Amino acid sequence: MNPTATKLIDVCEQLLCEIDSIDELTARRLATRAGTTPSSVSYHFGSQEQLVIATAERVYKRLNAERLSQLNAAAQHASPNPPALEDIIAALIGPSVRWSLEPGSRYPVLSHFTAMAQRGGNPELYRHVIEGIEHHRVFMPYFRLLAPWLSEAEIGWRMSCALGIRSQVTRSRLRNEVLTNHTIDFSNAGEVIDHIVAVVAPMFRKPA
Amino acid sequence: MNPTATKLIDVCEQLLCEIDSIDELTARRLATRAGTTPSSVSYHFGSQEQLVIATAERVYKRLNAERLSQLNAAAQHASPNPPALEDIIAALIGPSVRWSLEPGSRYPVLSHFTAMAQRGGNPELYRHVIEGIEHHRVFMPYFRLLAPWLSEAEIGWRMSCALGIRSQVTRSRLRNEVLTNHTIDFSNAGEVIDHIVAVVAPMFRKPA
DNA sequence: ACGGTTCTCGAACGCTGTTCGAGGCTGTGC
DNA sequence: GCACAGCCTCGAACAGCGTTCGAGAACCGT
């Protein structure tokens, strides 16, 4: 990969973590900090938007690696028994929650990215990222093992719901605090994860 | 209210429903269609962003009115018994889901609005809308009645989760379809609502 | 050493939201 | 009846944006 292109991704990642609004990310700022010119953004990535996508993709890979590692750790720890349902859920949603709260993490990249994807524009650009990176099929067999009474689609739907709750936490902290009367400390990742697990686990339990 | 300002809100609502990306909403387009000039947007609302907020607020009021009416209908229907848990959940999340799928509805306004709020910028602008309009305290007593073993905060947290799942459906339809192997028809509001109710209800059930 | 590819740069384009001052209305007090 | 505020509208102007384009530099295989 061209060194300028790499440098642009580096700077983009770094800049996305510093800014509050995606509007503060401008081609000229990116270029200046990367020691090049705005036109090189369009040249190497086609558009500024695609540069952000490339940047997010790199971060997603790291996040998914952590998810996977937690899942494997849970599996190995319980072996030869199947891992606990709670641990699988925590592996699925935990890293996002933790990253979103850790000050030094690269999570802001993803939060700006999803905000951008939400803006509309051309969904095709994001399609492969969402389908490729956000698909969490690795988790499926574990859930199937623990909830054999649920079909694959039903499990996928519940995973989707779990991720929706996760997004709600990382996105709308203010509303969460209001609705819970400030009794949950949303800056405490462990506490938040526990609360999510507490509501997601019942979705997988056998109905009476 | 100034007729020009009203007209701008009308046009803004209408335009937000037609466009795919929020970027297509420009002060000049708004002004032209409203028969005025871009500067009047800043004059009457302070900024284009605040015009969108005012517009969203108006739509939110209608949405919440529908929620309330469904809640009351459920309560009246079951009277003197307490309404069914499923009906309360459906009243909470149903109108959003239904609006998001109905072609003629004003839901795109809200989806663009939340996308904008997500962008960062100045959260203070959105605070009062989110706290004021999105708080759903009306639902609280009903849930308390049906799940007295849960504290008020625990119920608020579960409502928050339900709304998160709702957002997931209205926002990331693509990912939902992939994760559920296209077995759920996400264009069928009734079906989607049923699926949401199926996962949310267990959150309120008494633990074994 | 040459020819072609890859890359970099700066100027330019058309667009954006917002600001500002000049002017037009309207209503009130004298 | 007139003058003065107040509110409103408009057009020009401004700084900034992402992207395009052509000229040239740098590199590399032949």
Q: Which nucleotides in chain C have some atom under 7 angstroms from a protein Cβ? A: 6-12, 15-21
Residues in contact with B30: Cβ distance below 8 Å, sequence separation at least 6, in sequence order: B8, B11, B12, B15, B38, B41, B48, B51
The CATH number covering residue B35 comes to 1.10.10
Residue A121 has pLDDT above 80, yes or no: no
pLDDT score for B194 = 98
Q: Structural domain tally of chain A? A: 2
Per the CB < 8 Å rule, is B174 touching A118? no
The CATH number covering residue B96 comes to 1.10.357.10
The overall average pLDDT reported for chain A is 94
Contact of B164 with chain A, judged by CB distance below 8 Å, is answered with yes
Residue B147 has pLDDT above 90, yes or no: yes
Residue A129 has pLDDT above 90, yes or no: no
User: Are A96 and A10 members of one domain?
Assistant: no
User: Are B42 and B74 members of one domain?
Assistant: no
Report the alpha-carbon distance of residue B160 to residue B155 in Å, rounded.
8
**Mean pLDDT of all residues in B175-194:** 94
User: Are A106 and A23 members of one domain?
Assistant: no
Residue A140: pLDDT band (50, 70, 90) is very high
CA dihedral of residues A79, A84, A87, A92 (deg, nearest 10): 100
Contact of A118 with chain B, judged by CB distance below 8 Å, is answered with yes
User: Are A5 and A70 members of one domain?
Assistant: no
User: Are B93 and B157 members of one domain?
Assistant: yes
Residue B29: pLDDT band (50, 70, 90) is very high
Residue A34: pLDDT band (50, 70, 90) is very high
User: Are B198 and B112 members of one domain?
Assistant: yes
**Mean pLDDT of all residues in A136-147:** 93
Residue B105 resides in a domain: yes
Interval A145-189: pLDDT, tens? 999 999 999 999 999 999 999 999 999 888 899 999 999 999 999
Chain-centre distance for alpha carbon A166: 9
Of B134, B73, B156, B192, which is closest to residue A199 (Cα–Cα)? B156
Report the alpha-carbon distance of residue A85 to residue A208 in Å, rounded.
18
User: Are A28 and A113 members of one domain?
Assistant: no
Interval B2-11: pLDDT, tens? 999 999 999 9
User: Are A197 and A160 members of one domain?
Assistant: yes
Count of CB atoms situated within 10 Å of the CB of B20: 13
pTM value surpassing 0.85: yes
Measuring from the CA of residue A46 to each C1' atom, give the nucleotide at the shortest distance: D19
Count of CB atoms situated within 10 Å of the CB of B42: 13
Residue A123: pLDDT band (50, 70, 90) is confident
Residue A1 has pLDDT above 90, yes or no: no
User: Are A61 and A18 members of one domain?
Assistant: no
By residue range, what is the domain housing residue B196?
59-204
A193 vs B128: which has the higher pLDDT = A193
Measuring from the CA of residue B23 to each C1' atom, give the nucleotide at the shortest distance: C16
Report the alpha-carbon distance of residue B199 to residue A56 in Å, rounded.
31
